[in-house]
């Protein structure tokens, strides 16, 4: 599938800024198209060096302005996501190009009309690739009261794997549009009492999304109880793009010290069991990276791996932690708590 990479817009921006070196940052699914774009841009702007960034890019949080500045590049073009980091917080000028994926709305509309209860309100969320279609979809579903929930800094109806727009506390159906389970499960984590469905535009199927609420409640409770018993608590912050946030790290260090815990602080671009094993005295780690690492893959680690939210649930009495759902509010503005990574 070919995507519109806004080549003419890039050329216009690079030319107007008189750039000499530009970094092109693609997620893995688009990197093959990045090679062709790099070659075309170099042909059209022979006096500009275009560098293809090939490190891991998991989401908009991986925008790597620091690397761009380190190699003395003038400009960063980040593809596939909408902005998360305010421009004034970045070390170099940047532009985001959220590529648009094709979708046939008729099969989706037919699936919704056939499968969902028309007596319930319908919330629709999607990844950024499908954002241009949401208003048309809403207008076409005339038998439903359709809601496109919103959370800043994301556009209306858009969700991330760690940040999901809130819904009013009432029964409704929720449809997620996008591929794979990662984002769909985030929606289900955030709306545990609603019927959540996932629609994959590639195979045109609408299927229910199930998460084991009781299992996750027990896992979270066990992790929090274990953390409270430990003397040494590790704090590992991701250096991959803007995935980690020093503000959150500082908040956690202060929280641990107030609770007479000894924080053991380190930084890494990848969090692995092998790395954590080298800290023999540390059995519990707070990871300031992607909260889904603890939620989805925490059991793969020999150590207890908790999110910043779980750290505050363990050690801050003012946080009225609930085990009934897993909050997906990592980049929310305004921040829901000191565990959030948003720059506000």
Handedness of CA 55, 15, 100, 209 (dihedral sign): positive
Give the SS3 label for residue 343: coil
Give me 115's structure tokens.
């499968």
Between 334 and 22, the higher pLDDT residue: 22
User: What's the pLDDT score for residue 193?
Assistant: 86
- Mean pLDDT of the 276-296 span: 95
Element (H, E) at 192: none
- Mean pLDDT of the 115-128 span: 96
**Secondary structure of 8-44 in the HEC alphabet?**
HHHHHHHHHCCCCEEEEECCHHHHHHHHHHHHHHHHH
Q: How many other CB atoms are there within 10 angstroms of residue 123's CB atom?
A: 24
Q: Where is average pLDDT lowest: 19-28, 260-269, 314-323?
A: 314-323
Q: How many other CB atoms are there within 10 angstroms of residue 167's CB atom?
A: 18
154 near 163, Cβ under 8 Å?
yes
User: What's the pLDDT score for residue 170?
Assistant: 78
Portion of the chain with pLDDT greater than 70, in percent: 97
- Mean pLDDT of the 132-139 span: 97
Between 193 and 72, the higher pLDDT residue: 72
User: What's the pLDDT score for residue 322?
Assistant: 64
Check residue 140 and report its DSSP letter: H
Q: Is the pLDDT of residue 175 over 70?
A: yes
- Start-end ranges of CATH 3.40.50.11860 in the chain? 213-315
**pLDDT tens digit string along 223-240?**
999 999 999 999 999 999
DSSP β-ladder status, 284-288 and 304-306: parallel
Task: HSE, CB side, 13 Å, CA atoms: give it for residue 41.
Answer: 29
Distance CA 271, CA 238 (A): 8
Q: Is the pLDDT of residue 263 over 90?
A: yes
Sheet holding 93-97, edge to edge: 49-53, 21-25, 75-79, 93-97
Right CATH number for 105-208 from 3.30.300.210, 3.40.50.11850, 2.120.10.30, 3.90.1150.10? 3.40.50.11850
Burial class (CB in 10 A: 0-12, 13-18, 19+), 266: middle
214 near 207, Cβ under 8 Å?
no
Give the SS3 label for residue 248: helix
Distance CA 121, CA 144 (A): 6
Distance CA 231, CA 173 (A): 44
CA distances from 315 to 107, 200, 285 (A): 49, 40, 14
User: What's the pLDDT score for residue 2?
Assistant: 65
**Secondary structure of 149-172 in the HEC alphabet?**
CCCECCCCCECCCCECCCCCCCCE
Distance CA 8, CA 40 (A): 11
- Start-end ranges of CATH 3.40.50.11850 in the chain? 105-208
CATH for the stretch 7-98:
3.40.50.11840
User: What's the pLDDT score for residue 323?
Assistant: 64
Of 148, 211, 202, 150, the closest CA to residue 180 belongs to 202
Q: Is the pLDDT of residue 86 over 70?
A: yes
- Mean pLDDT of the 170-181 span: 92
334 near 166, Cβ under 8 Å?
no
Averaged confidence pLDDT in the chain: 93
User: What's the pLDDT score for residue 326?
Assistant: 78
Check residue 303 and report its DSSP letter: S
Give me 43's structure tokens.
């042909």
Distance CA 216, CA 230 (A): 21
User: What's the pLDDT score for residue 154?
Assistant: 95
- Start-end ranges of CATH 3.40.50.11840 in the chain? 7-98
Give me 338's structure tokens.
């000191």
Q: How many residues belong to the chain?
A: 344
DSSP β-ladder status, 93-97 and 75-79: parallel
User: What's the pLDDT score for residue 1?
Assistant: 59
Right CATH number for 213-315 from 3.40.50.11860, 3.10.350.10, 3.40.30.10, 3.20.20.70? 3.40.50.11860
Burial class (CB in 10 A: 0-12, 13-18, 19+), 263: middle
Q: Is the pLDDT of residue 56 over 70?
A: yes
């Amino acid at each position: 599938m070919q995507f519109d990479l806004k080549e003419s817009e890039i050329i216009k921006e690079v030319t107007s800024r008189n750039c000499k070196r530009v970094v092109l940052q693609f997620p893995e699914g688009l990197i093959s198209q990045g090679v062709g774009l790099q070659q075309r841009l170099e042909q059209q702007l022979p006096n500009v060096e275009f560098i293809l960034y090939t490190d891991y890019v998991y989401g908009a949080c991986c925008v790597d302005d620091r690397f761009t500045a380190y190699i003395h590049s003038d400009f960063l073009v980040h593809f596939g996501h909408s902005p998360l980091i305010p421009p004034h917080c970045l070390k170099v000028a940047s532009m985001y190009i959220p590529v648009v994926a094709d979708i046939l709305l008729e099969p989706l509309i037919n699936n919704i009309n056939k499968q969902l209860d028309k007596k319930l309100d319908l919330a629709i969320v999607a990844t950024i690739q499908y954002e241009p279609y949401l208003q048309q979809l809403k207008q076409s579903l005339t038998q439903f009261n359709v809601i496109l929930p919103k959370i800043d800094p994301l556009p209306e109806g858009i969700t991330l794997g760690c940040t999901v727009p809130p819904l009013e506390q009432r029964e409704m159906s929720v449809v997620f549009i996008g591929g794979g389970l990662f984002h769909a499960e985030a929606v289900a984590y955030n709306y545990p009492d609603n019927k959540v469905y996932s629609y994959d535009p590639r195979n045109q199927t609408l299927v229910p999304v199930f998460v084991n609420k009781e299992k996750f409640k027990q896992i979270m409770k066990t992790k929090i109880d274990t953390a409270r018993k430990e003397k040494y608590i590790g704090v590992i912050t991701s250096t991959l793009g803007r995935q980690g946030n020093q503000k959150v790290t500082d908040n956690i260090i202060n929280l641990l010290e107030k609770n007479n815990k000894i924080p053991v602080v380190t930084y890494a671009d990848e969090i692995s069991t092998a790395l954590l094993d080298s800290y023999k005295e540390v059995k519990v780690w707070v990871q300031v990276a992607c909260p889904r690492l603890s939620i989805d893959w925490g059991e793969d680690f020999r150590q207890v791996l908790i999110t910043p939210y779980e750290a505050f649930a363990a050690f801050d009495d003012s946080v009225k932690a609930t085990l009934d759902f897993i909050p997906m509010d990592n980049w929310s503005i305004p921040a829901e708590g000191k565990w959030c990574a948003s720059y506000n």
